[in-house]
Amino acid sequence: MTENEQLLARVAAEARATRPWGWDCLPAPADADTVARSEAALGFTLPPLLAALYTRIGDGGFGPEYGLLPLLEGKSSGGEPSVVEKYAGMRASAWGWPEGVLPISHWGCAMYACVDCRSDTAQVLLFEPNGDDPRHAWFVDSPSLTSWLTAWLDGTGWYEEDSDGVDLPAWQDARTHT
């Protein structure tokens, strides 16, 4: 079994065992057509691991805090729109949202976990617009989607109660991706 297969098995087990913030049951996985339509709407492909999360585990509803947003259609348990809708809305907003940076999970208070679909590792970023200077709203949450998921599974993410105030580094590429 490959490292990704092992990770997907761990995520699936955790997704079946827990429900973040109001999900009654795990949504059914998205099908290949939903992924293809999503990618067409976005204008870029999803990283393979992200696509596998949606097609093999569920169309959102699992993961840290509020869980992953649905991919193409529907609303999250907290009323957040799908990944495709959220990306389109943020790209059209005054934020200058970076191209290829996909919001996948809502943290609350306008904060999002995002995957940089242009990076080789599917780097995970934190969009946190609530600081003193809204021009500095981007932080590196994790160098890869793999390590982000592992931190969630292991209970070592910055958002955990015992994280002891971890400071995330600023994302230096924010201005070059717009």
Question: Strand ranges (DSSP E) for 18-100?
Answer: none
Total of domains in the chain: 1
Domain presence at residue 59? yes
CATH number for the domain harbouring residue 55: 3.40.1580.10
Paired strand residues for 102: 115
Kindly report, residue by residue over 119-135, the tens digit of the pLDDT.
999 999 999 988 766 56
18-22, 55-59, 110-114, range with the lowest pLDDT: 18-22
115 — pLDDT class (breaks 50, 70, 90): very high
User: What pLDDT, on the 0 to 100 scale, is given for residue 57?
Assistant: 95
Question: Whole-angstrom Cα distance, residue 146 to residue 50?
Answer: 9
Range of the domain at 135: 3-157
Query: Which residues make Cβ contacts (< 8 Å) with residue 60, sequence separation at least 6?
Result: 27, 54, 67, 68, 69, 70, 71, 74, 76, 82, 83
Domain presence at residue 105? yes
Question: Strand ranges (DSSP E) for the chain?
Answer: 101-108, 111-116, 124-127, 138-142
Domain presence at residue 119? yes
Q: Which pTM was predicted?
A: 0.90
The count of other CB atoms within 10 Å of the CB of residue 33 is 9
Q: Which one-letter DSSP state was computed for residue 151?
A: H
* Residue 166 or 84, more confident: 84
Select from 109, 111, 113 the least CA-distant residue to 145.
113
Predicted confidence (pLDDT) at residue 178 exceeds the cutoff of 60: no
